[in-house]
Structure 1
Amino acid sequence: MAPAVEAVEKKTSSALKAPALNERILSSMSRRSVAAHPWHDLEIGPGAPTIFNCVIEIPRGSKVKYELDKKTGLIKVDRVLYSSVVYPHNYGFIPRTLCEDSDPLDVLVIMQEPVIPGCFLRAKAIGLMPMIDQGEADDKIIAVCADDPEYKHYNDIKELPPHRLAEIRRFFEDCILFFL
């Protein structure tokens, strides 16, 4: 009589099991999932324009130029720099903005550490580096990380040590020559 009880328990437990892996994969492919787009869906932040969110595309010290793929919202490799030029600070964009080049507004964020591409952080603008790219304005906001104790007290680009300002200026000058 005991085997009959086991058979009933097996039938009941198999009826409650989750669908097989292949069925779950196929059903997930038929559903449309929507991921947040960092340019359009991320809020600029409640403290804007003083403190604003920005998405980092390129970490400090990188020779890889990443950029936002406008269609998917993913960060893609654009190219690898082949000279000794590296990004002196984290580089990205301000969400929900638009520059004359039809891209979001670029921002160079001065902070102690590199951060991973695709993350966002709070920044404070301290200056502007006006630039022209292929005949169109492509200004760069110079900012500090609002949550970095070493840099958050800066309010103006003129407060930066002269060597830091020269480093940033030289990077953009080299990039203009490099990317032509």
Structure 2
Amino acid sequence: MDLAGPHTSTLPSPKSKKALGLKYHPRPAALDSRAAANPRPLRHFALAFAFASAPSLSPSGSAMAGAAVLNERIISSMSQKHVAAHPWHDLEIGPGAPEFFNCVVEIPRGSKVKYELDKASGLIKVDRVLYSSVVYPHNYGFIPRTLCEDSDPMDVLILMQEQVVPGCFLRARAIGLMPMIDQGEKDDKIIAVCADDPEFRHYTDITDLPPHRLQEIRRFFEDYKKNENKEVAVNEFLPAKDAINAIKYSMDLYGSYIIESLRK
């Protein structure tokens, strides 16, 4: 997916149901009566976990047959009127999107531990400790209710004065896009600043940043997988307008799955 250029409406083909989180089971017939009796929770869970019923699409983009499915845990939680929030699906992206948006921090600045979202539980898990003697130069996470062609939410690097704890969310502003190829696949990163940090909130474009800071960011992503014998290539940074377009595209892609799943 070329996030910097023209986009098509072709949906990605998920690698597996597991890749999008949760173990799914056939939709019970009794669900319709529950929906009539309690429509608001049903709509909430349908939107929050719509990937449960999203069918895989062929490479040509044509829809494949697939029955609607729903997680048993969701149904149980509906009857008990409580469920743990999932940061990818339940947290709103925010009214200022795509320029301003909420984002969830997975990895704090200065960490050598690569934390990441566990899609099934919504918790932040330890993926690995970095093999190289480098640490994350800034807080790193994802934008909720977005989707990229690798079946993951959009990645974001957030510049701010302080490190923050994994799992928290904050309001950020997109200032640039870092096009990246990770082992032959596109893995672009949004460069953003914390919208509520007085030192960084005035930045509006990546050209406002000192060249050395951009070089630090580039060098980290070029080097952090070298000792794993994994190749990463970073291209030239792109301005804020390209980042905003990329976020908008990932929002539309996520929304397309929601709409498609609710039709089933």
Q: Which has the larger radius of gyration?
A: 1
| TM-score category, normalised to shorter length | 0.7 to 0.9
Per-residue deviation, 1:176: 4.5
Distance change in 2, residues 1:153/1:178 (3 Å): farther
User: Which structure 1 residue ranges, 5 or more long, are not aligned?
Assistant: 1-30
Higher relative contact order (CA 8 A, sep 6+): 2
Q: Which runs of 5+ in 2 are unaligned?
A: 1-79, 231-264
Q: Deviations over 1:60-81 (max 9, x none)?
A: 0000000000000000000011
| CA distance in 2 between partners of 1:52 and 1:128 (Å) | 15
Aligned position for 1:42: 91
The residue correspondences of 1:96-111 to structure 2 (distance < 5 A) are: 96-111=145-160
Runs (4+) off by over 6 Å: none
In the other structure, the counterpart of 1:67 is 116
Match of 1:93 in 2: 142
* Deviation per residue, 1:39-83 (Å, 9 max, x gap): 011000011112100000000000000000000000000001132
1:55 and 2:104 matched? yes
SS at 1:88's partner residue?
A: coil
Query: Which one of 183, 206, 211 corresponds to residue 157 of structure 1?
Result: 206
State the TM-score, normalized to the length of structure 2: 0.55
Letter in 2 for 1:132: I
Q: What do residues 60-110 of structure 1 show as CA deviations (whole Å, max 9, x unaligned)?
A: 000000000000000000001132210000000000111121110000000
SS at match of 1:167: helix
Aligned length: 151
Return the letter of the residue paired with 2:120: K
Structure 1 Cα separation of the partners of residues 110 and 212 of structure 2? 17
Return the match for 2:226 from 170, 177, 180.
177
TM normalised by structure 1 equals 0.80
RMSD: 1.6
**What percentage of residue pairs aligned between the two structures are identical?**
82
